[in-house]
Amino acid sequence: MKKILIVDDSPTIRRMVAASLRTLQDAVFEEAGNGLEAIENLSRGLSDLMILDLNMPGMHGLEVLRFVRAHQKYQAIPIIVLTTKYDADSQGAALNCGASHYMTKPFDPAALLSEVSRLLK
């Protein structure tokens, strides 16, 4: 089973992301409502992929990215940033911090599914 961690402060977005990926074979979805919950989730067991929002209370998504990429145990986890930030600076910062892919909200469910499938191979 592939474990996909969906990190977003909006429960609605987390449900939409999971629904978009429901056709994935052998996938289980876990959720975190903020960056600290995401790190706690990782400490309980490795994820195969993370979908991460940037703008969250408590711990910004870039801080989560930096944490994940700074720890060898987590470095290989593909991370898709899914955010409302359309600007080139935010995209560049996320990619420079180690994001595997950058997408903006509202998102195309088929495009998200395609990218997740590609990164899980």
CA distances from 111 to 47, 60, 117 (A): 21, 24, 10
**Range of the structural domain that residue 60 is part of:** 2-120
Length of the chain counted residue by residue:
121
C-alpha dihedral (107, 90, 50, 75), degrees to nearest 10: 150
Domain total of the chain: 1
pLDDT of 25 reads 86
Q: Which residues contact 69 (CB under 8 A, 6 or more apart)?
A: 75, 97, 98
Q: Please compute the mean of the pLDDT values over residues 17-32 and round it to a whole number.
A: 95
For the domain that residue 35 is a member of, what is the CATH number? 3.40.50.2300
Short-list 78, 85, 87, 84, CA closest to 115: 78
pTM for this model (two decimals): 0.96
pLDDT tens track for 51-99? 999 999 889 999 999 999 999 999 999 999 999 999 999 999 999 999 9
What percent of the chain shows pLDDT beyond 70? 100
